[in-house]
Amino acid sequence: MSTNWPHSARERTILIRITQIGLIGLAIFATSALPSAAKQKSLFDQAAQALTEQEPVSGAFAAGASYSACFVPGMDCEGLAVEEIGAARKTVLVQAYSFTSPAIAKALVEAAKRGVDVRVILDKSQRSEKYSGATFLRNAGIPTVIDDKPAIAHNKVMIIDNQVVITGSFNYTKSAQERNAENLLVLRGDLQLVQAYTENWRRRWAVSVPL
C-alpha cells in the first residue's frame, strides 16, 4: 500500500532524525557490554545532540516591523547601539564575542542603574582579554557569564524590551567602529523573531558559567 507521508520537507527531516536516533540507540545497546566508556559516551552524546537540534526559524516579517541597517566604515554603528540601549526600559539581553567598547559598556551600566534588567553572555576569550569590558560589567553588578561550551561563542546580539533585536557582524569593540568593515542591523517590532532570539539566548545562558 502506498502512502504520501512524509509529504513536506519538515516531515522528512523529522523522519530522518527519528531514524538516526533509533540507529544510535541500537549502536549503544550493541556496544553496552564493551569496556570502552569513551565510545559509549560518544554515542550517547550523538543521541543527545540529535534530540536537541532545533529547526531553523523562518517566516514573513510582521506588519509594522521596521529596521535600521548600519555599515562601517562610514556610519556610527556604535552610536546606534548605544542609542537603542539608552531607550531600553525593561530588559537588555546581550551575547557578545569580544567586548571592549567603553561606550557600549557604559550604556549598559547606565541602563542597569535606571532599573533595566541587563544580562550578558560572553565568549571564553573574555576571561583573559586584557581590555575586556567583562570585568567592568561584573564590577557594576551586571550578571555576566561565559558560554564556554562551543569552540567560539560568536554571537553579536542584543535583545531589548522584548521588542528589538540587534545583530550583525559588528563586535562591541572600538576596533569594529574605527578600523573594521562591519554591519549592524536593528530589527524592531517582529515578536516572532524576538522570541526566536530570546529562546536561543536562554539556551546559551542555561549552559554558561559565571565569569
Instruction: List the beta bridge partners of residue 147.
Output: 123
Backbone angles phi, psi at 104, to 5 degrees: -70, -40
Q: Which of 90, 156, 174, 190 is catalytic?
A: 156
Q: Which is the catalytic residue, given 90, 154, 174, 190?
A: 154
Is 154 marked active-site?
yes
Distance CA 125, CA 189 (A): 33
DSSP characters for 162-211?
TTEEEEES--BSHHHHHT--EEEEEEES-HHHHHHHHHHHHHHHHT-EE-
Q: Which of 149, 161, 174, 190 is catalytic?
A: 161
CA distance 142 to 131: 18
Active site residues: 154, 156, 161
